[in-house]
Homo-oligomer: A and B are copies of this chain.
């Protein structure tokens, strides 16, 4: 099953630490006062795509790049660590387009039908969506209208194309 990929962290990390330079002196609050919300998708390299460097921005990632799922982190980012701008990215070819919450609940329960503990999956909203530009606009609206997000926060919405590496400003 598992291939213990963690064993392959060691050597690259030694090289990274050996060339760490002055990064150890970076402060806790993000220097560019920015929080980015994007998907956990394996093809997304946030730093390289956007020219972000260590110390610049909070990076929140979850299945789909959901703003709802990110709300706890956004509040901490703004109220305790001084960020004042949010950029939300959804992307083409997203796994969230391939299923519904009901289907995934069934997959989990059917994986071991004799296990009653799996029924707890019925309490999880998997926040799937059928189309990315619409979901992006809804997420921007969700944060703009949320009373727990600081008034005056600049919030933008973007699509990242996994086929080309390009970003598009949508909202």
Contacts and interface: CB of A to CB of B under 8 A. Distances in A.
A85 interface: yes
B107 A165 contact: no
Given A50-B9, A99-B80, A61 B63 contact: no
Chain A interface mostly helix, strand, loop or mixed? mixed
Interface in A22-67: 23-24, 26, 28-35, 40-45, 47-51, 53-63
Given A24-B163, A62-B73, A69-B72, A50 B84 contact: no
B6 A87 contact: yes
Interface of A: 1-6, 8-13, 15-17, 20, 23-24, 26, 28-35, 40-45, 47-51, 53-63, 69-73, 75-77, 79-81, 84-85, 87, 93, 95-96, 98-99, 104, 107-108, 111, 115, 117-118, 120-121, 124-127, 147-148, 152-154, 156, 158, 162-167, 169
